Amino acid sequence: AQKITQTQPGMFVQEKEAVTLDCTYDTSDQSYGLFWYKQPSSGEMIFLIYQGSYDEQNATEGRYSLNFQKARKSANLVISASQLGDSAMYFCAMRERQNNDMRFGAGTRLTVKP
């Protein structure tokens, strides 16, 4: 069964505006971690932000914030003040305590327009 769902194959945003990339997940584990990675066209995977299932505050890292809604099992990435360099694939991932592996979503391709 698909554990991580990213429903937006592609998104467009105007430079300097904010954008939200959706991610929903499925788990019966009470203890898990949620991650967002960025993959530019050059191919490398860049870690952006992490949210633990027991964290009460939404995670923030610079222009990135994670809108964590535990009851809805969603972990949306919000990028504020988009820059042209933000154009990339974005992957949501989950690591469960019981499984110890990392499951990735299909990704969302974000294009920032000048």
Contacts with another protein, residue ranges (CB under 8 A): 31-33, 37, 43-47, 50, 52-53, 91, 95, 97, 99-107
Helix or strand run (H / E) with residue 40: none
Structure tokens at 89: 């694939």
Q: How far is the CB of 20 from another protein (least distance, A)?
A: 21
- Which lies closer to another protein via its Cβ, residue 38 or residue 79? 38
- Which lies closer to another protein via its Cβ, residue 49 or residue 82? 49
Q: How far is the CB of 84 from another protein (least distance, A)?
A: 22
- Which lies closer to another protein via its Cβ, residue 56 or residue 101? 101
Q: 21 near 88, Cβ under 8 Å?
A: no
Q: How far is the CB of 17 from another protein (least distance, A)?
A: 28
User: DSSP secondary-structure letter at 59?
Assistant: P
- The set of residues, in sequence order, having a beta carbon less than 8 Å from that of 2 and lying 6+ positions away, is 26
Phi, psi of 85 (to 5 degrees): -70, -5
